[in-house]
Amino acid sequence: MTMELTAAGAAARNIWRRVLPSDPNALVSQTPEWMDCVCASGHYEDATRAYGNANGRQVVLPLARRRNLPAAAGVVGSMPFGWGTGGLICPGGRLSSEDVAAVVADLSRQPALLVGVRPSPAAEGAWATAVPEDVVRIRQMTQSVDLSGGFDGVWKHGFATTVRSYCRKAERKGVTVERDDTGRLMEVFDALYRRSVVRWARQQHEPLWLAQWRAQRRDPRHKFQTVAERLGPACQVWVAWLAGAPIAAMVVLTQGEHSTRWRAAMDKEAAKGTGANELLHRFAIEDACRSGQRFFHMGESAPSSALARNKQGFGATEAYYTGYRFERLPLTAADQFLRRRVKRVIGFRD
């Protein structure tokens, strides 16, 4: 039975709140609270679309539209750059290709220059079979730890021997871990994050000014505090300390059965050889198990990269998924060409 648009923008909020609790696959980046964080940045407005059929079935697509652009030059995302995955939420998490096909047809009729959708891996099958071949596709890989066996199972069968050894080493060296869900430690995280940007630039042979510009564009300082304030206890900041100094930190977001490691940073020189990063993850994953989460999502990685291998050490497994871009002009091809040219010029390393 055909899905039709029933509400958009603020008018879709009540439907969104009704459907969300029944979808076990919904991530924090698909919640109304997250959309409020996106809009609080000042760059976007809520363009969420709700759909329904005659049988009463309802699905919701969180969407954010770039502000102050005419309709023909509009940029719409689920979710925008730097704000995680999006895609449809539906009752029971049982998304069908028919649901997706109806939504895709609606998106294709929009006058926007670009509509981008990044569904989570859980929805990969339904989207892959329903999106027309001429739509631009971008393949991505993410990694997650299955917590269904409890922390004892993750510790014994998921964590690599070296990771467990580093956790013990950290405790012997006096590393302590602090958890906060009031926003009090977000400034500590942000300071480590800005320091990490300098290190990442050096590792990738990227000019520091360019790395800092990219970090400011993706993650300005006020963004972290906004998320902490608006998500409340669903936003946890974890900090590893040694001799009174913060040496590693990460931000974990929770929604339903899911914990998501949103951002992570460290003072690599101070943390070297301490096992602080391993202990930090051990405590965060153990807390997620204790709180009843079934998955600990560790975010995107380049396949076979050092980062991907590091996440595997915590028991994370790979999942591939596809992002879709409905374009009026070949924007993705032009963007990829320019990125390759810039990287070649500066000697950038992925």
Q: What DSSP element (H or E) covers 61? A: strand 58-61
Question: What is the structure's pLDDT at 204?
Answer: 84
**What's the pLDDT band for 348 if we cut at 50, 70, 90?**
low
Residue 88 inside a domain? The answer is yes
Is the confidence at residue 259, as pLDDT, over 90? yes
* Residue 339 falls inside a structural domain: no
The pair of structure tokens assigned to 174 is 């006096």
305-341, pLDDT tens digit by residue?
Answer: 999 999 999 999 999 999 999 987 776 776 666 666 6
Residues 118, 167: one domain? no
Q: For residue 347, is pLDDT > 90? A: no
Question: With contact defined as beta carbons under 8 Å apart, do 214 and 260 qualify?
Answer: no
pLDDT at 342: 59
pLDDT at 350 over 60: no
Residues 165 and 129 in one domain: no
pTM tops 0.85, yes or no:
yes
The CA distances from residue 239 to 100, 245, 247, 264, 284, in Å, are: 40, 10, 8, 10, 10
Peptide bond into 141 cis (omega under 30): no
Determine the pLDDT at residue 2: 83
**pLDDT digits 0-9 by tens, 195-206:** 999 999 998 888
4-8 vs 295-300, strand pairing mode: unpaired
Residues 190 and 102 in one domain: no
The reply to whether 331 falls in a domain is no
What's the chain's average pLDDT?
A: 94
Residue 115 pLDDT > 60, yes or no? yes
pLDDT for res 72: 85
Q: What is the mean pLDDT of residues 5-18?
A: 97
pLDDT at 286: 98
- SS3 of residue 7 by DSSP: strand
One domain for residues 126 and 234: no
Domain final position from 87, 113, 134: 134
CATH number of the domain to which 44 belongs: 3.40.630
Examine the pLDDT at 295 and tell me if it is beyond 80. yes
Q: Which domain holds residue 105?
A: 4-134
In a domain, 85, yes or no: yes
* Residue 244 domain flag: yes
Same domain, 101 and 183: no
Q: Is residue 55 part of a domain?
A: yes
Indicate the number of domains in the chain.
2
Residues 91 and 149 in one domain: no
| Model pLDDT, residue 184 | 97
- Same domain for 97 and 52, yes or no, is yes
